[in-house]
Amino acid sequence: MRDKSGVTLKDELVAVARKAGAVILDIYNRDFETLRKADRSPVTEADTAAEAVILEALARLMPDVPAVAEEQCAKDGVPQSAPERFFLVDPLDGTKEFIARNGEFTVNIALIEAGKPVLGVVYLPATDACYAGTGGKAERSIGGGALEPIAARAAPESGLVMAISRSHADGEVERAKARGLDIAGTIVAGSSLKFCRIAEGVADLYPRFGNTMEWDTAAGQAVLEAAGGRVETTDGAPLDYGKPGFRNPHFIAYGRQRA
């Protein structure tokens, strides 16, 4: 999708994510209050302010495409059903990382079509790194530079490098090994950055055996699949979107299959 000036929807969403990231950083660099949602998960003014920026921009860019966004759902409840085409938005994925001020939080925007994440942008405000993927092409920008191609690697003969979260590391490696996965090492990555680490070829695997919502994973999955990887439920089915309640089952993200 490209307008008359040659700007693609991917370009537009990267710009939107950067704008939301600037709002997040402004709050990150000063004192802020942490509240609790009904499910007891943390939320800050950065979550709501960034979401407002993103939703306004999406409504302007594609007014006929609805958006399902985390904080909106926390306030009003998740939609009863999903349309054929919609945006999924997590304005601040990794609120715990934001509160801990470790920099490992992201802005996630994805476009879903017929249950599939066909376009995704993952932006890291603290490092000004951006990942984007659509149409079989994944890209990465570091420090505000131009987007450059990235690709997932084939599974190494020496074993798999597993991306893990600080907050979900306990037991995850053991559970992965119990499924017959050959784990040679781990790297720590916050929020949806784990998908991106596989997409850029520095990790091979990200199993998640805990609860996630669709807005947590859609953008990262779009980037990874555009880079040649895949995301499957533990039953081996593709991880699809627009499910009842917008809740994910357990899943495993992989890099490229070995030839």
Cα–Cα distance between 53 and 72 in angstroms, integer?
Answer: 13
| Structure tokens that stand for 94 in this block | 């990794």
Was 92 annotated as part of a binding site? yes
Query: Token pair 């009842």 is at which residue?
Result: 244
Was 95 annotated as part of a binding site? yes
Was 39 annotated as part of a binding site? no
Was 94 annotated as part of a binding site? yes
What DSSP string describes 183-220? EEEEEE--TTHHHHHHHTTS--EEEE-S-EEHHHHHHH
Helical pair 45-61 and 9-28, crossing angle rounded to 10 deg: 160
Was 220 annotated as part of a binding site? no
Was 240 annotated as part of a binding site? no
> Any idea how long the chain is?
259
Contact 138, 226 (CB under 8 A): yes
Was 26 annotated as part of a binding site? no
Residue 108, SS3 per DSSP = strand
Contact 121, 10 (CB under 8 A): yes
| Structure tokens that stand for 187 in this block | 């790297």
| Structure tokens that stand for 231 in this block | 């995301």
Cα–Cα distance between 207 and 209 in angstroms, integer?
Answer: 6
Pick out the residues of the known binding site for substrate.
70, 92-95, 216
Pick out the residues of the known binding site for Mg(2+).
70, 90, 92-93, 216
Pick out the residues of the known binding site.
70, 90, 92-95, 216
